[in-house]
Each structure stands twice: as C-alpha cells, then as structure tokens.
Amino acid sequence: MEYKTGTLGRVVLARFDQGDDLLEGLKELVRKENLRACWFQILGGMRQAGVVTGPKEPTMPPDPVWAEVDGAREVVGSGSVYWEADEPRIHLHAAMGHHGETMTACIRKNTKVYLILEVIIFELQGLDATRPYFAEGGFNRLTFGR
C-alpha cells in the first residue's frame, strides 16, 4: 500500500441530461476546470454503457468480461479522475438497477444518460497523483510522485 495526504479543494456540481455522454462530458468538464485529481459520485439514470463486470479469471493482467447496458437503469456510482500525460483517466464503478435486478460494473465507454444524472466532484489538492499505464497489470494505475 502507498498513500499520500491532501486537502479538499473546489466542489463542482453538474447535471447531465437525456442523451448526454457521461464519460466524454466528465472529461470535458475536468479539462475546462483543470481538475488534476478528483473523486466524484453519480446519481440518476443511464440508458447505455459499455461495462466490465469483472475478469474471466483472477489473473494479472486480467481478461475483462464486457457487457452492454441498453435500456433504462437507475444508477449510483463512485469514481476518480487522475491524469496520464495530457489525458484525464476516469475510473468509475457503479450499481445499475432495472426492475429489481442490479448489475455492478466498471463503466468504460459509450455512455448515454437516461433522463438525468447528477454528479458531484470533489477536487483533491496537495497530492502528486497520476494514473499512468501499468504494463504488468494491463491497466492504468493510481501512482504517487515525490
């Protein structure tokens, strides 16, 4: 385990509407506000998403199990954003429910909002944290400087 301590900076509250692309919109907001390290929560509805529901086997690097979410889902999730060079890297896990059945997954691509999705972002300050590619694991990993 590694860790660093920091402080909370700005708090950004955003609303995404029907058909908005959540992941692309988050990246745009993070770039515009120059949020270098942050944690966020989402609450609302998703219509579409490409998600990973876990690895096929517990190996490293993992072989992901992909699924497509298509149709209205209630969603609550938590994620973080750290940068790799000039690109914000989003890591978002969420529970998505439909008619009493729930899927928990890592939301990765092709995200479309259903009705409304509220997002609160907490800026983290005083941390030298990035998310570079970790070749041994096959993923982008939170990494601390200094």
Residues 54-71 have pLDDT tens digits of 999 999 999 999 999 999
Tens digit of pLDDT for each residue in 75-107? 999 999 999 989 999 999 999 999 999 999 999
What Cα–Cα distance (Å) separates residue 74 from each residue in 14, 40, 137, 143?
A: 18, 17, 31, 32
Ordered structural domains, the chain, with CATH: 10-144 (3.30.1330.80)
| DSSP helix, strand, coil percent of the chain (3-state; round to 5) | 10, 65, 25
Q: Calculate mean pLDDT across residues 3-16.
A: 97
Q: What is the structure's pLDDT at 146?
A: 73
Q: What is the mean pLDDT of the segment spanning 1-26?
A: 97
